[in-house]
Structure 1
Amino acid sequence: MPKIKNAKLFKYELTIKENHLDSFAHVNNAVYLQILEEARWEFITELGFGLEEIQKSGKGPVILEVNLKFIKELKLREKVRIETQCIDAQSKILHLEQKIFNSKNELCTTAHYILGYFDLNTRKLIHQSPEWFRAVGIEIE
C-alpha cells in the first residue's frame, strides 16, 4: 500500500465572473465543480500530465465521489484562491482535498474527492503509475 511521503500544495487564483452566478447572484452550485476542475487541470498539466498525455497513454483520473461543503458565499468580481492537495493514496485510489478562499483569506468551500486511476481502453480502475503520482504532486515511500 503506497504511503505519502510528501504532498505538494497547489494554488490557483481566479476572479468570480458574471457567468459563474445564478439567479440569486451568487455562484451556482454546479459552477463550483467547474472552477474546482479548472484548478485540477491546471496543476496536472503544469506537471506534465495534461489532456495530451492522458490521450496518449490511455490512462487518467476519474472522480468516484465528491463531497462539497459551502461555508461562505463567493461574490461577483472577487478574487479567490483554490488550494489543492492529495491527502491519501492507495493502489488504485487517491483522496484529494480542495479549498476555496476568498479575498479576505476566509475559507469559503471545501471539496473532498475520491479519484480512481482509469484505463480508457479496458474501462477499469488500474494501479496508479509513478508518473501519475508525480502529476498530483506526491512522493510515495
Structure 2
Amino acid sequence: MTEREPFRTQIKVRHYELDSLGHVNHAVYHSYAEVARLEAMEKAAGDRDGLRAENLAVVLLESHIVYRRELRAGDVVEVTCEIEFGDGKIFHVTNEIFKLDGTLSAEIRCTLGLMDLERRKLLDDPRGRFERAGIDLKILTTSD
C-alpha cells in the first residue's frame, strides 16, 4: 500500500501580514491554515456542492498553534491540511506550515464539527455525511 501525502497549498507572505517585529503576525498563521482547509475542501468537493445542498457547513470549534520558526515578508510557505475523523460529532484538522527549504514554521490543530445550519446543531458522523455528500476523502485524509 502506498502512503498518501496530505493536501498542500503554497502561500506567499505579504508585507501587510507582518507585525512590529518584522515577522508574520500570530493571527495570520491561523489564516494560512484556513486557506489550506478551504482549498482542500473545494478540491475534495469537485463540482459537487453536497454539503450546501443539505444545508450543512463545517464550523471551527477550537484552534491550537505551536510556533516553531518565524516567517518574514517574501517567504513562500507550503501549508498542509489533513483531517482525522473519530467517533461522535467532532473531527480534527492538522495543518503544518513549512518554509520551502523544509523548515517547519508552525503546527496547528483544530477541532471542527459539521453543523446543520437550520437547526444550528452539530451532527453525528461527519465522515459519513462527507461521504454521502460526495466529498473525496482521499484528498482530505491520508488514512483509509
TM-score, shorter chain, exceeding 0.5: yes
Q: Does 1:68 align with 2:71?
A: no
Same amino acid, percent of matched pairs: 24
Unpaired runs of at least 5, structure 2: none
User: Residues 21 and 28 of structure 1 are in contact (CA less than 8 Å); yes or no, is this contact kept in structure 2?
Assistant: yes
User: Residues 10 and 78 of structure 2 are in contact (CA less than 8 Å); yes or no, is this contact kept in structure 1?
Assistant: yes
Tell me, what secondary structure is at the counterpart of 1:47?
helix
Query: For 1:38-68, what per-residue CA distance to the aligned partner results, in whole angstroms no more than 9, with x for missing partners?
Result: 1111110111179x65443210211111110
Change (3 A) 1:133 1:90: farther
Q: Which amino acid aligns with 1:37?
A: E
Post-superposition shift, 1:23? 1.7
Give the corresponding residue for 1:29. 26
Post-superposition shift, 1:86? 1.7
Post-superposition shift, 1:75? 1.4
Unpaired runs of at least 5, structure 1: 1-5
- 1 or 2, which has the higher strand percentage? 1
User: Residues 56 and 114 of structure 2 are in contact (CA less than 8 Å); yes or no, is this contact kept in structure 1?
Assistant: yes
Q: 1:100 aligns with which of 97, 101, 105?
A: 97
* Distance (whole Å) between structure 2 residues aligned to residue 18 and residue 43 of structure 1: 25
Query: For 1:102-140, what per-residue CA distance to the aligned partner results, in whole angstroms no more than 9, with x for missing partners?
Result: 121011100011111111110000022023763562488
Q: 2:12 aligns with which of 15, 18, 35?
A: 15
User: Residues 82 and 95 of structure 2 are in contact (CA less than 8 Å); yes or no, is this contact kept in structure 1?
Assistant: yes
Q: Which amino acid aligns with 2:140?
A: G
Change (3 A) 1:115 1:56: same
Q: 1:45 aligns with which of 30, 42, 46?
A: 42
Post-superposition shift, 1:22? 1.5
Q: 2:113 aligns with which of 100, 116, 132?
A: 116
Give the corresponding residue for 1:58. 55
* Distance (whole Å) between structure 1 residues aligned to residue 122 and residue 134 of structure 2: 13
Tell me, what secondary structure is at the counterpart of 1:91?
coil
The count of corresponding residues between Structure 1 and Structure 2 is 135
Q: Which amino acid aligns with 2:123?
A: I
TM-score (norm 1): 0.82
